A and B are shown apart, each in its own frame.
Chain A
Amino acid sequence: MESIKPVRNPEELEKLHQKIESERGNEKPIVSICISTGCVALGATSVLEAFKNGIKKTKLEKEVEIKETGCLGFCEQGPRVTIYPDEICYFKVKPDDVQEIISQTIKENKIVEHLLYTDPITRKKVRRLDEIPFYKDQLRPLLENNARIDPKNILDYIHLDGYKALAKAITQMTPQQIIEEIKKSKLRGRGGGGFPTGIKWETTRNAAEQTKYVIVNCDEGDPGAFMDRSLMDGNPHSVLEGLIIGAFAIGAKEGYVYVREEYPLATENITTAIDQAKQYGFLGEDILGSGFNFNVKVHKGAGAFVSGESSALMTAIEGKTGEPRPKYIRTAVKGLWNKPTCLNNVKTWANIPLIIMKGAEWFKNIGTEGSSGTAIFSLVGKIKNTGLVEVPMGITLRDLIYKIGGGIKDDNKFKAVQTGGPSGGFIPEEYLDLQVDFDELDKVGSMMGSGGLVVMDEDTCMVDSARYFVDFLLEESCGKCIPCREGLRVLSKILGNICEGKGEHVDIGIVEDIAFTMENASLCALGTTATNPVLTSLKYFREEWDQHIKDKRCIAKVCKSLTNFYIDPKECQACLICLRECPTKAIEGEKDQVHWINQEKCEKCGICYEVCKFDAVKKLSGEPIPSKPANGMKPIRKGVKQ
Chain B
Amino acid sequence: MKTLTLKIDGKEIEAKEDMTILEAAEKLGIQIPTLCHHKKLEPYGACRICSVEIETRGKSRIVAACCYPVKNNLNVTTRSTQIDKIRKTILELAAVTAGEDAMGEMRKLASEYNADLSHLRSKTPIEPTRCILCGLCVRRCIEATWDSVIGFIGRGTKRQIALYPEKASICTICDYCHDVCPTGKITSTGPDPPFPQIDDVLAGRE
**How many chain B residues have a CB neighbour from A under 8 Å?**
36
In the bound complex, do residue B93 and residue A521 qualify as a contact, i.e. CB atoms below 8 Å apart? no
Q: A489-B157, A490-B93 are in contact. Are A480 and B46 (CB under 8 A)?
A: yes
Within the complex, what minimum Cβ distance (angstroms) separates B99 from chain A? Answer: 13
CA A329 – CA B70 in complex, angstroms? 11
CA A487 – CA B48 in complex, angstroms? 12
User: Within 8 Å of chain B (Cβ to Cβ): is A534?
Assistant: no
Interface stretch, picked from B2-10, B148-156, B183-191, B196-204, is: B148-156
Within the complex, what minimum Cβ distance (angstroms) separates B43 from chain A? Answer: 7
Within the complex, what minimum Cβ distance (angstroms) separates B202 from chain A? Answer: 16
Within the complex, what minimum Cβ distance (angstroms) separates B131 from chain A? Answer: 12
Query: Which B residues are in CB contact (< 8 Å) with A494?
Result: 123
Q: Determine the residue in chain A with the shortest Cβ distance to B160.
A: A479
**How many chain A residues have a CB neighbour from B under 8 Å?**
34
User: Within 8 Å of chain B (Cβ to Cβ): is A431?
Assistant: no
Interface stretch, picked from B26-34, B61-69, B163-171, B173-181, is: B61-69
Within the complex, what minimum Cβ distance (angstroms) separates A99 from chain B? Answer: 52
CA A613 – CA B132 in complex, angstroms? 55
Q: A304-B155, A516-B89 are in contact. Are A489 and B96 (CB under 8 A)?
A: yes
- The residue that B123 contacts in the complex, of A477, A510, A517, with Cβ under 8 A, is A510
Query: Which A residues are in CB contact (< 8 Å) with B93?
Result: 482-483, 486-487, 490, 514, 517
Within the complex, what minimum Cβ distance (angstroms) separates B12 from chain A? Answer: 22
User: Within 8 Å of chain B (Cβ to Cβ): is A475?
Assistant: yes
Within the complex, what minimum Cβ distance (angstroms) separates A324 from chain B? Answer: 9
Query: Max chain B CB contacts within 10 Å: which of A490, A493, A517?
Result: A517
Query: Which A residues are in CB contact (< 8 Å) with B109?
Result: none
Within the complex, what minimum Cβ distance (angstroms) separates B127 from chain A? Answer: 13
In the bound complex, do residue A479 and residue B89 qualify as a contact, i.e. CB atoms below 8 Å apart? no
User: Within 8 Å of chain A (Cβ to Cβ): is B40?
Assistant: no
User: Within 8 Å of chain A (Cβ to Cβ): is B94?
Assistant: yes
A150-190 vs B, CB cutoff 8 Å, 1 = contact: the mask equals 00000000000000000000000000000000000000000
Query: Which B residues are in CB contact (< 8 Å) with A510?
Result: 120, 123
CA A304 – CA B46 in complex, angstroms? 19
Within the complex, what minimum Cβ distance (angstroms) separates A491 from chain B? Answer: 10
Query: Which B residues are in CB contact (< 8 Å) with A474?
Result: 156-157
In the bound complex, do residue B68 and residue A328 qualify as a contact, i.e. CB atoms below 8 Å apart? yes
In the bound complex, do residue B124 and residue A479 qualify as a contact, i.e. CB atoms below 8 Å apart? no
User: Within 8 Å of chain B (Cβ to Cβ): is A205?
Assistant: no
CA A474 – CA B68 in complex, angstroms? 27
In the bound complex, do residue B47 and residue A481 qualify as a contact, i.e. CB atoms below 8 Å apart? yes
Q: A326-B43, A510-B120 are in contact. Are A476 and B48 (CB under 8 A)?
A: no
A485-510 vs B, CB cutoff 8 Å, 1 = contact: the mask equals 11111100110010000000000001
Query: Which B residues are in CB contact (< 8 Å) with A332?
Result: none
Q: Determine the residue in chain B with the shortest Cβ distance to A479.
A: B159
Q: Determine the residue in chain A with the shortest Cβ distance to B35.
A: A482
B117-151 vs A, CB cutoff 8 Å, 1 = contact: the mask equals 00010011000000011010000000000000000
CA A489 – CA B69 in complex, angstroms? 31
CA A479 – CA B49 in complex, angstroms? 16
User: Within 8 Å of chain A (Cβ to Cβ): is B75?
Assistant: no
In the bound complex, do residue B96 and residue A478 qualify as a contact, i.e. CB atoms below 8 Å apart? no
User: Within 8 Å of chain B (Cβ to Cβ): is A325?
Assistant: yes
Within the complex, what minimum Cβ distance (angstroms) separates A510 from chain B? Answer: 7
User: Within 8 Å of chain A (Cβ to Cβ): is B78?
Assistant: no
Q: A326-B43, A326-B67, A514-B89 are in contact. Are A490 and B96 (CB under 8 A)?
A: yes
Interface CB pairs A-B, < 8 A, 14 = A474-B156, A477-B156, A480-B46, A480-B133, A482-B94, A482-B132, A482-B133, A486-B120, A490-B96, A490-B123, A517-B90, A521-B64, A521-B86, A523-B64
List 18 extra interface pairs beyond A482-B132, A513-B89, A523-B46, CB under 8 A: A304-B155, A328-B67, A328-B68, A329-B69, A477-B156, A479-B154, A479-B157, A480-B133, A481-B47, A483-B89, A485-B159, A486-B93, A488-B156, A490-B123, A516-B89, A517-B89, A517-B90, A521-B51
Q: Which residues of B contact A (CB under 8 A)?
A: 43, 45-49, 51, 61-64, 67-69, 82, 85-86, 89-90, 93-94, 96-97, 120, 123-124, 132-133, 135, 152, 154-159
